[in-house]
Structure 1
Amino acid sequence: MNPLQQVLTKLTPQPAEAAEAFLAAFREQTVAKGETVIRAGAQTRQIFFVEEGVLRAYSSSAEGAEYNKAFFVEHDLWGIYYALLTGQPSHLSVQALTPCRLLVADYKLITDLYGKYPTLERAGRRMAEELFVLKEQREIDLVMLDATARYANFQRLYPGLEQRIPQYHIASHLGITPTQLSRIRAVISLPM
């Protein structure tokens, strides 16, 4: 079973015909490091599966400051969900932080399969529920936890990612400066 099929089956077991229809909707795309996959202000109608690589979803202020909202790594199935549901342009940009190999499908094609395969619709609902829980937890963490606790959560959610991407991206995701992140890392690495 390929990784995309494993993710789908983990959400909800699928009959072979439903899984085949779902997998057939995707095509392969390679993305170079630094390339923008989705640009803020543009329409997005695609969902993505990361076969290999790391991407970031971020927003930019009018002054050019960037805030990393999320990272996507191997075996993540993602899209800019609110833009897909509402048809509005994306407020986020998505950029490859490493060379990436993606599988890409048209969101409407996937949702059209829901009528024929209720198990796919159930998987879509479960995916939306998981994304909602992650979003809620992240919002609570940003308000309730200090930077050290947010960093610990980052390490738990993204094991090994800090060795693959620049530290300033992690600091941006945590809502702190790179200097603050360096201090936290220094304190954590001190022997007890």
Structure 2
Amino acid sequence: MEDSKIKEDSPEWWAIYQSVNSLSPVSLEVWKEAGISYSLRELGYGDFFIKQEKIPTEYAFVFSGVLKEYYLTSKGNEYIKSFNFPGEFTGSYFDLLTKQPSTCNIRAITDCKIAVAKFGELASLFETHISWERLGRKVAENLFLKKAKREYELLALDAESRYKLLKENYPNIEESVSQYHIASFLGITPVSLSRIRSKLNRTKDKPTNKN
């Protein structure tokens, strides 16, 4: 299915604006004046948004579904670095900035609807208005914090703690993301994840002693 242009003042247009504005305030006047062109794209399960080793030019806003960002090694091993849920933006930001081939893949793990735009349009705005400059800085800050948090979890927390934290942040993740993908994100095998879940369920179901 071909992309379809998102019209100004449509519900999809407002959803994107509200998400941008919550990240870093951009007045409606400045937002409309910029005239960033977004198009609606549908992805089926397994479809790529960005492919590793291809130069990316687009970023996207997720309306529905879930995508995974992951690295694929030369031996075919997959390492998931993050998931992209509805209401979030996705794109290989570092590679978009450097205009280098992507270091990761971004792929749908459910059917998805996303709004796609050219990163060049957004980047050209960073020097035109203080609101856009702040947005660019906020995006970079958030990505740095996300990367630091991810590194801390993998290096300092055990697998059970990482799983608990994931469930705290995304309580309903298991409704849309398979155990295989969750295990890959946690850096463990599906068997190890199953053991952790069984242990936590036993603990949850265990009656407490009352004095």
TM (norm. structure 1) is: 0.94
The equivalent residue for 2:87 is: 75
Which digits, 9 at most, give the CA deviation of each residue in 1:107-152, with x for residues without a partner? 1101112233320221121121111111101101100000001111
State the SS of the aligned residue for 1:24: coil
Residue 158 of structure 1: CA displacement? Answer: 2.5
Match of 1:90 among 93, 96, 102: 102
Match of 1:125 among 137, 141, 149: 137
Change (3 A) 1:65 1:113: same
**Could you tell me how far apart the structure 1 residues matched to 2:196 and 2:125 are?**
47
Deviates more, 1:21-30 or 1:108-117: 21-30
**Could you tell me how far apart the structure 2 residues matched to 1:134 and 1:89 are?**
22
**Could you tell me how far apart the structure 1 residues matched to 2:16 and 2:171 are?**
20
Over the aligned positions, Cα root-mean-square deviation in angstroms equals 1.5
**Could you tell me how far apart the structure 1 residues matched to 2:137 and 2:153 are?**
24
1:145 pairs with 2:145: no
Residue 21 of structure 1: CA displacement? Answer: 4.3
State the SS of the aligned residue for 2:114: strand
What 5-or-longer segments of structure 2 have no aligned partner? 1-10, 207-211
Say if 2:68 and 2:84, in contact at 8 Å, map to a contact too: yes
Residue 23 of structure 1: CA displacement? Answer: 6.2
Counterpart amino acid of residue 55 in structure 1? L
What 5-or-longer segments of structure 1 have no aligned partner? none
Say if 1:7 and 1:75, in contact at 8 Å, map to a contact too: yes
The equivalent residue for 2:41 is: 29
Say if 2:62 and 2:88, in contact at 8 Å, map to a contact too: yes
Change (3 A) 1:22 1:186: farther
Bigger Rg, structure 1 or 2: 2
Identity percentage of aligned residues? 35
State the SS of the aligned residue for 1:121: helix
Deviates more, 1:31-40 or 1:172-181: 31-40
Residue 78 of structure 1: CA displacement? Answer: 2.0
Counterpart amino acid of residue 89 in structure 1? P
**Could you tell me how far apart the structure 2 residues matched to 1:23 and 1:144 are?**
44
The equivalent residue for 1:105 is: 117
Which digits, 9 at most, give the CA deviation of each residue in 1:157-191, with x for residues without a partner? 32311121210100000000000000000111112
Say if 2:36 and 2:121, in contact at 8 Å, map to a contact too: no
State the SS of the aligned residue for 1:176: coil
TM (norm. structure 2) is: 0.86
